[in-house]
Amino acid sequence: MKKKSNFFAIIMHITILLLIAPLLILVVWSFSRSWSWPYLLPQEFGLRGIMHVLHPSSRALKNLLFSIRLSMIVTIITLIISIPAAKALGVYNFKGKGFFKVLVLAPIIVPPVAVAMGIHLTFIRLGIANTFIGVVLVHLIPCLPYGIRILTNVFEIVGESMEQQAKVLGANPIQIFLHITLPLIAPGLISAGSLVFIVSFSQYFLTFLIGGGRIITFPMMMFPYIQSGDRMMASSYSLVFILATLVVLVIMEKAIKSYYGTKNYFYL
């Protein structure tokens, strides 16, 4: 028995190491002027990458804050749309439910790139290309499947019995939603919100096409450096990208948990 748990501990530590090591290399590269064969560690360190990201003239931090705001708005709208849709799919029985469950995943199955050009033309007609609203709308496309699918599973577990109980006791629909449904699905909201935020935050192509250069997000500044192979710049940007995502996710989780005083009923 003892031996077996040791074995699993080793596997676990190796797995964690494999996940963390690439991130560590990113940190080292952010500060390495040169790191050539045959040296195990960089011979020269520098701050060029980080200084560029932090310097106001590069507008990197300004765009980072803008990106976070954009993705937060996308996340909130996605959740607002996802909750009723997920409840319908998770709780109610209706004709063609299985079909709709698959249909919801369509934006992931069909790559957005394939339909993006058409969307762009439509958005130009509607006058929302190159605008903030246009970018928010187009971000909803890859985000909604994640939001709806995760919350569908949550509703399947939670069911409707609690809400019916409240209804029997005379609560109105708004009271039921605020005091019964939301606290019940709060842990699911955290996971769905986190994933949706990440999906929106890392969108590159769709933002590019619909934003038309008017809307500049953080990944749009990061990608050219990754493409051109400037490893110090690319690593510095990636590092800031990862840290920003982590901070936002932790804040989001803390906020929702403290508001609803949720304990971990289940974690998805």
Residues that bind other proteins (CB under 8 A): 33-38, 44, 46, 48, 52, 57-59, 117, 120-122, 124-127, 130, 208-209, 212-214, 216, 220-221, 224-225, 227-233
Helix or strand (DSSP H, E) at 136: helix 132-158
Nearest approach in angstroms of CB 212 to other proteins is 5
Nearest approach in angstroms of CB 7 to other proteins is 37
Q: Which residue, 155 or 241, has its beta carbon nearer to other proteins?
A: 241
Q: Which residue, 88 or 249, has its beta carbon nearer to other proteins?
A: 88
Nearest approach in angstroms of CB 69 to other proteins is 19
CA distances for 93 relative to 87, 97, 101, 156, 158, angstroms: 11, 7, 12, 11, 15
235, 53 Cβ separation under 8 angstroms: no
**Residue 95 corresponds to which amino acid?**
K
Sign of the Cα torsion 50, 51, 57, 62 reads positive
24, 43 Cβ separation under 8 angstroms: no
Q: Which residue, 205 or 260, has its beta carbon nearer to other proteins?
A: 205
DSSP secondary structure letter of residue 130? T
Sign of the Cα torsion 114, 118, 119, 121 reads positive
CA distances for 179 relative to 58, 74, 176, angstroms: 46, 24, 5
Q: Which residue, 56 or 170, has its beta carbon nearer to other proteins?
A: 56
- Rounded distance, CA 59 to CA 64, Å? 8
Nearest approach in angstroms of CB 9 to other proteins is 36
Q: Which residue, 100 or 265, has its beta carbon nearer to other proteins?
A: 100
Nearest approach in angstroms of CB 217 to other proteins is 11
Q: Which residue, 52 or 167, has its beta carbon nearer to other proteins?
A: 52
- Rounded distance, CA 156 to CA 248, Å? 28
- Rounded distance, CA 183 to CA 147, Å? 17
Q: Which residue, 223 or 260, has its beta carbon nearer to other proteins?
A: 223
Sign of the Cα torsion 219, 221, 227, 231 reads negative
Nearest approach in angstroms of CB 151 to other proteins is 24
Nearest approach in angstroms of CB 203 to other proteins is 15
**Residue 66 corresponds to which amino acid?**
F
- Rounded distance, CA 224 to CA 208, Å? 12
Nearest approach in angstroms of CB 230 to other proteins is 6
Q: Which residue, 48 or 101, has its beta carbon nearer to other proteins?
A: 48
- Rounded distance, CA 68 to CA 73, Å? 9
